[in-house]
Structure formats: structure tokens, C-alpha cells
């Protein structure tokens, strides 16, 4: 679908091919946003584009690149069509966990992938697309953190990356005050998406055990909260928000039955 010339709000979502990102695309589409969807799996993005355009009659731009690769991110920003160069909401959703090992048993390749995606990817994307965010009359950046910003056993590097997201979100809020840009950090607890399957490298039995005795959050639950944060009056900014299922208090304490 070709984007028309009317004034239309635009949301840019990284990691939109599954999980929270895909649910956010659905949520914002149903509220009339035009959407830039990003991910590495272009075929999934094209399927999502077709679905959203047909269901919601909204415009979708596919931006297939890897947030870990600096040149790809900045090239994508440089080549974005002119009619998409005013971004109202950036959702830095792309992220992952790999492994759950004691730090002395950890896989260095996993560490680098998490740092490159969760921290550097967020920084690259924000930096590259900030010129377009500044053009909005109601600019908002949403950073996906985690309750894992609070350290738990065998969380080490993943926890460190989410603590970094927390700190960077606070820094962005301060540094971007002069541009009137809202910055919100969203920290979900246990949520049943592809996340655990990726973390345990396709081991479905282990991935499912994470949710034993719980009714976990869904991707749609998180998308609802993200949309709510963007729908508040212009003078209201939620800086930091933690959400969990009813049987999880934080990154450590659960009550299972």
C-alpha cells in the first residue's frame, strides 16, 4: 500500500517479526497508525505487512535489517522514503536472551550477541532515526527492558544488558528533554513468546518449564501497555513501568502452583 499525503502518525517497531514487536504492530495498526516494521526475517515482515494492510487499511513499510550491524542501521535510515521521515513513536523492541549458565560456564558468543542486540542495537537505531523522531509534534521512544534488570542467578550478561537499557532510558529522558521527546522504559516479566525458545536454543521442554505454575503475560498484554503509554495527554510521560503476571513479583520471586 502506498502511503497517502494526509497527516498520519507513524510508529517504527524493531523486532516486529514475532513476539512483542508483532503484537505492537497489530495494536498500533488497529488504532490507525502507519507502521515501519523491522526485523531480520524479511519473509515474515512481508507476511505481516500483507496481513495488516488488508485488515486495517493502513500503510506499512518493511525495513529489513539487523540492528546489530551498524552500517545496515544507518543505511536504512539514509534510504527511508521521504514520506516516512517523520516518526512519532520508536519502539526499540529487538532483543533476546541466550543461555542461562553460571558466568564461568557462559558462552562468549552468546554474550556478544546479547550485548550487540540489546544494547548496541538499541543505541544504533535510536541514533540513526532520531532526526526523524525530532520532526514529530509528539515524539516518543519506547525501550523494551525487563524485570531482569534485577540480577538473578545465571542471568549475568542478559541481566547486565537489561540494566543497561534501564540506565540508557533514564539518560535519554534527561538528554532529550530539550527536544520534548518522551522516553518510556517498559520492563515485562515472564511472557510466553518465542523468547524462551530462543534462550534455550530450541529446547522446547526446558523453555516451557519457565512457565510452570504460572499464567504468564502474553505479547498482546505487553502491546496493550505500550500503546497505553503512547496514548496519554501530551504533558504526561510514563518514564518507567514494570509489569508482571499475578504470580510474579519481580525477576526473582514467583509463586507457582
Would 27 be classed as within a structural domain?
yes
Residue 250 domain flag: no
Q: At what angle do helices 19-30 and 42-56 cross, to 10 degrees?
A: 20
Does residue 47 lie within any of the structural domains?
Answer: yes
> Which CATH number does the domain housing residue 201 bear?
3.40.50.720
pLDDT at 208: 74
Per the prediction, the chain carries an average pLDDT of 94
Using CA atoms, how far apart are residues 202 and 194, in angstroms rounded to an integer? 9
Do 209 and 68 touch, CB atoms closer than 8 A?
no
Read off the pLDDT of residues 1-27 as tens digits, 9 standing for 90 and up.
Answer: 555 444 689 999 999 999 999 999 999
- Catalytic residue among 158, 228, 253, 255, which? 158
Residue closest to 128 by CA, chosen among 27, 58, 38: 38
Query: Is 2 within the bounds of a domain?
Result: no
Counting Cβ atoms within 10 Å, is residue 160 exposed (0-12), middle (13-18) or buried (19+)? middle
68-88 pLDDT, tens per residue?
999 999 999 999 999 999 999
The answer to the question of residue 59 being in a domain is yes
Q: Considering the domain boundaries, does residue 3 fall inside one?
A: no
> Residue 82, Cβ neighbours under 10 Å: how many?
6
User: Is residue 144 in some structural domain?
Assistant: yes
Identify the domain containing residue 111 by its residue range.
10-243
Cα distance between residue 16 and residue 33, in whole Å: 15
Domain count, the chain: 1
pLDDT tens for residues 29-78? 999 999 999 999 999 999 999 999 999 999 999 999 999 999 999 999 99
Cα torsion for 155, 160, 163, 168, to the nearest 10°?
Answer: -150
Detail the DSSP E strand segments found in 53-159. 60-64, 89-92, 140-144
- Of 20-34, 47-61, 119-133, 194-208, least confident by mean pLDDT is 194-208
Which residue is it, cell 501530551?
Answer: 234
| 158 is a catalytic site residue | yes
- DSSP, collapsed to helix, strand or coil, labels residue 214 as coil
253 domain-assigned: no
In angstroms, the CA 103 to CA 106 distance is 5
The pLDDT assigned to 176 comes to 98
pTM: 0.94
Amino acid at each position: 500500500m502506498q502511503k497517502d499525503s494526509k497527516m498520519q502518525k507513524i510508529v517504527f517497531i524493531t523486532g516486529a517479526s514475532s513476539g512483542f514487536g508483532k503484537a505492537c504492530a497489530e495494536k498500533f495498526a488497529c488504532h490507525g497508525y502507519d507502521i515501519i516494521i523491522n526485523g531480520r526475517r524479511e519473509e515474515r515482515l512481508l507476511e505481516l505487512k500483507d496481513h495488516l494492510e488488508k485488515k486495517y487499511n493502513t500503510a506499512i513499510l518493511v525495513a529489513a535489517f539487523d540492528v546489530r550491524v551498524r552500517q545496515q542501521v544507518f543505511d536504512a535510515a539514509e534510504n527511508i522514503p521521504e514520506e516516512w521521515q517523520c516518526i512519532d513513536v520508536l519502539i526499540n523492541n529487538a532483543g533476546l536472551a541466550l543461555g542461562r549458565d553460571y558466568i564461568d560456564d557462559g558462552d562468549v558468543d552468546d554474550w556478544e550477541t546479547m550485548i550487540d542486540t540489546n544494547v548496541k542495537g538499541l543505541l544504533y537505531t535510536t541514533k540513526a532515526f532520531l532526526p526523524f523522531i525530532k520532526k514529530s509534534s509528539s515524539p516518543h521512544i519506547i525501550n523494551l527492558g525487563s524485570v531482569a534488570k534485577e540480577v538473578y542467578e545465571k542471568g549475568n550478561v542478559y541481566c547486565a544488558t537489561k540494566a543497561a537499557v534501564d540506565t540508557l532510558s533514564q539518560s535519554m529522558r534527561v538528554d532529550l528533554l530539550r527536544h520534548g521527546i518522551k522516553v518510556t522504559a517498559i520492563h515485562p516479566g515472564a511472557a510466553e513468546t518465542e523468547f524462551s525458545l530462543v534462550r534455550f536454543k530450541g529446547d522446547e521442554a526446558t523453555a516451557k518449564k519457565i512457565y510452570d505454575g504460572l499464567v504468564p503475560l502474553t505479547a498482546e498484554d505487553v502491546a496493550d501497555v505500550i500503546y497505553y503509554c503512547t496514548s496519554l495527554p501530551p504533558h504526561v510521560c510514563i518514564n518507567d513501568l514494570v509489569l508482571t503476571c499475578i504470580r510474579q513479583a519481580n525477576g526473582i520471586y514467583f509463586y507457582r502452583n
